[in-house]
Amino acid sequence: MVDGHMQIGEVAERTDLSLRTIRYYEEVGLVVPSARSQGGFRLYTEADLRRLAVIKRMKPLGFQLEEMRELLELLSRDTAELTDRERERLRDFQHKADEQCDRLRSRLRTAEEFAETLHNRLAD
């Protein structure tokens, strides 16, 4: 890290995202490097890393790109500043996240049951 900025390789390592994924998120406007080096390299800050972490947590919940953009905008603002409509939208996102978490837990239970079947088979 130099002057509070990191190059994309360090960001990829710290976020466990691929370079390609980070570049894609930039291309679609989900995250924008805070600066560029004199050589044109993307430079990121800790705030950029936090944003990428939020995006990474949204991905398995099935949020579409436009939803992610909207949600990132809502999350970047103080809750007290949100309009009633924006608060309702945030509740919609919360509901969607809760439903998807339930689905993921169910799938995990199924996978764990199968893994247990394999363990039992090998124990015989």
Q: Is residue 2 included in any domain, yes or no?
A: yes
47/94 same-domain check? no
Residue located via tokens 């909207």:
70
Q: Is residue 44 included in any domain, yes or no?
A: yes
Res 41: pLDDT:
87
Last residue of a domain, one of 33, 61, 89: 61
Q: Is residue 66 included in any domain, yes or no?
A: no
E-only strand ranges, the chain: 6-7, 35-36, 42-44
Q: Is residue 48 included in any domain, yes or no?
A: yes
Q: Please report, in angstroms and rounded to a whole number, the separation of the first and last CA atoms in the chain.
A: 53
Res 37: pLDDT:
84
Walk along the chain (124 residues) in steps of 10 and give the mean pLDDT of each run: 84 96 95 88 93 96 96 94 96 97 97 96 87
80-103 core/surface letters (b: 16 or more CB in 10 A; e: else): eeeeeeeeebbeebeeebeeeeee
Full residue range of the structural domain in which residue 17 is found? 1-61
In whole angstroms, what is the distance from residue 26 CA to residue 33 CA? 8
SS3 at position 86: helix
DSSP 42: E
53/87 same-domain check? no
In whole angstroms, what is the distance from residue 22 CA to residue 51 CA? 11
| pTM as predicted | 0.83
Cβ-Cβ contacts under 8 Å for 86 (sequence gap 6 or more): 74
Q: Could you tell me the CATH number of the domain that includes residue 47?
A: 1.10.1660.10
83/109 same-domain check? yes
Q: Is residue 68 included in any domain, yes or no?
A: no
